[in-house]
A and B are shown apart, each in its own frame.
Chain A
Amino acid sequence: MYNTLRQILRTGILTEAPPLPDEALRAIAQRLRTAVLKRFAGALSIRHVDAGSCNGCELEINALGNSYYNLEGLGIHFVASPRHADMLLVTGPVSKNMEVALKRTYDATPEPKLVVAIGECGCTGGVFGESYASCGRVSNVIPVDVAVPGCPPTPFAIMQGILTAIAGKEETVLQPVKVEPSVQSRS
């Protein structure tokens, strides 16, 4: 116990200031007005759904919980059921085998709800594209409010995306990024 406490004291507080909302990340269908958003009152519950990612985005979503980003400190926390969620954080190109599960998760989330698509695959289908097994971008399957590019997007970019979705004021169109397989990642 002594060593545990000593290590906690020695580590100190590492949390950095959160980033400002980035309007550039806002996607087409911002369905919620500021008035509705105020209902969240600083306590946002997020349900993460991996709809077919390579698991790179999951690493960064997990990193949001570390002491540097401390997402919980902002009043944002991940919940275990879509029924408890205000927002879905969806990663991956949506695989055909996850299409039904993603739609059901969306339907199970109470209105009003926000959807943030995470990563290049969530934005465009990425290197996997659309095929017999992949539905491509998340917005091909459920409505998306904000799409965050990056392969994977850094924790900062994901935070910006979340903040953009909840602090959204005006509608901005996110230009779809056309990705050729030979293009290097824009990390």
Chain B
Amino acid sequence: MRIEDFDLELDPIPGAVPAWRGEADAVQWRALCQQVRDTGGRLLALWGSDRRAAERGLAIHAALIVRRGLVWLTCQAADDGYPGVADIFAPANRMQRAAGDLLGVRATDQRDARPWLRHGAWPDDEFPLRKDFNARTRHVNVPDAYPFVRVEGDGVHEIPVGPVHAGTIEPGHFRFSILGERVLRLEERLGYKHKGIEKRFEQMTLAEGARLAGRISGDSTVAYAWAYAMAVEGATAAAPPPRALWLRALLLERERIANHLGDLGFLGNDAGFAFGLAQFSRLKEDVLRTNLELFGHRYLMDRIVPGGVARDLDETGAAQIGAECDAIERAVALLHKIYEDHAGLQDRFMATGIVTPELADRLGLSGLAGRASGQANDARVQFPPAPYAELGVKMATQRNGDVAARVQLRFDEVGESLRLCRLLLDKMPKGPISADVPDAPEGATGVGWVEGWRGEVFVALETNAGNEIRRVHAHDPSWQNWPVLEHAVIGNIVPDFPLINKSFNLSYSGHDL
């Protein structure tokens, strides 16, 4: 079938979100990407796969967001590669480099040809995601000399930071080129946490994969578990009962609340206001304890499974959550006023780490950070899977694009999530909480697309015979946002970097896979 004005046959992908799939040749691939960009669409993810067993070579895939939903576009790579799309979608650059490292499929016009996820754990002529690569192969680690871009001039010097950071943070390397206190340039080097998640998926059945999906980025475990379950349910035509979907939304909003509360505390702390950290981390701990008591896990890991959810909520539990929502709302309102009235805090927050809406659009800034820079995208609003269509989610946006905007956005989203939680509890349908997941046909596909607290989490799934996984690509919104952080710090002073970094709060694990 045809959708919108795209000059390509697309087949609908069954599932909870509007999605289509199409196979393009090299010319169509670029033309369609350009058309999507020109009509206000975005690149959600880009990844490769090995289809040589079916004599279809190596393929490159893109998940594009268009007006009606999601288009999963596939292009078979020629011997010398495929035409890159980084000039159309800026975030594609690192994704193309990663596909090159993992699969050996390269963009013919790749200007930045440095490796991205491969640091020296495997040789440059072997590719982990090829089917003939043995996942158990252990190579001797050869530390590489990554060529950072050098900034030269009178008084310019470099500060290397990481991979082991000074706080309780994930590992990554930041190379600052500075003049005095001002940052001239920041270059990130990520991939330290690459632990072979995508290859690991291919050794698992659909049921086993759920546990791994929930551990791609621990702080977004609910979003990933839901996206994975959505993909499996699409591929197997399973129909999770309504109550399960409502409970999933409740868990997702609780994950959003817990993370936003934690971030609001750390943002206060990074600006020297320890009171904020003490207060907000206490509120977050209350949420986590309620999670443990009612759902059996503080971060709600493994509560969402393909077919439904693992734990039901009784009347008492629902009342307890309702009361907790009220208590959090009161406390956050008070703390919001304290933050607003605190001149020193606002001085650090405002005009720090600015990403203008124009830059955000050009670089494809997504999720929470995108909404703080005028990018009005929220999958819960634009392409709502059940039950969000019935909830009428109000999207929060800001246009200033500074730390203050990202702080304000979190306050607004906590308020909206509390409202959604109450609504979910109030209107939750009764009935079973899980349904059987039928066997998957060989070669079935499914997609999962969930607006997590950080942004859009995406899972693309292809099955083998016997309910085994042929390929899973899991995408974190951090892929889009890490490169923008490099721009956000330009011209700021070095001591403001932790604050700016925290205001984005990106995932290393979800990115490094």
Chain A residues with a Cβ under 8 A of chain B: 3-4, 7-8, 11, 14, 48-63, 65-68, 78, 80-82, 92-93, 95-101, 105, 126-134, 151-152, 154, 181-185, 187
Contact = CB atoms under 8 A, between A and B. Distances in A.
A161 to B, nearest CB: 15
B281 interface: yes
B194 A95 contact: yes
Given A7-B334, A59-B299, A63-B285, A49 B170 contact: no
A97 B297 contact: no
B196 A98 contact: no
Contacts of A51: 171
B169 interface: yes
Contact of B334 (A3, A14, A52, A82): A3
Nearest to B283: A66
A131 B195 contact: yes
B46 to A, nearest CB: 20
A101 B192 CA distance: 9
Contacts of A53: 170, 193, 218, 509
23 contacts: A3-B334, A3-B338, A4-B342, A53-B170, A53-B193, A54-B217, A55-B509, A56-B301, A58-B169, A62-B281, A63-B281, A67-B281, A95-B192, A95-B194, A98-B171, A99-B141, A101-B163, A132-B121, A132-B138, A133-B128, A152-B298, A154-B292, A185-B297
Interface in B206-255: 207-208, 211-212, 215-219, 221
Contacts of A82: 164
Interface in B127-175: 128, 133-139, 141, 143, 163-164, 166-171
Contacts of A181: 204, 208, 211-212
A59 B219 contact: yes
Contacts of B170: 50, 53, 55, 58
Given A67-B278, A133-B128, A182-B207, A58 B299 contact: no
Closest 4 CB pairs of A and B: A56-B218, A96-B121, A133-B196, A80-B166
Contacts of A96: 119, 121-122, 141, 194
A55 B143 contact: no
A66 B285 contact: yes
A127 B509 CA distance: 14
Interface in B185-204: 191-197, 199-200, 204
Interface string B266-282: 00000000010111011
Contacts of B128: 132-133
B285 A131 contact: no
B166 A81 contact: yes
A54 B216 contact: yes
Contacts of A129: 200
B171 A101 contact: yes
A62 B139 contact: no
B508 interface: yes
Given A56-B219, A97-B121, A68 B334 contact: no
Interface in B325-354: 334-335, 337-338, 341-342
Interface in B70-123: 119-122
Contacts of A56: 215, 218-219, 221, 299, 301
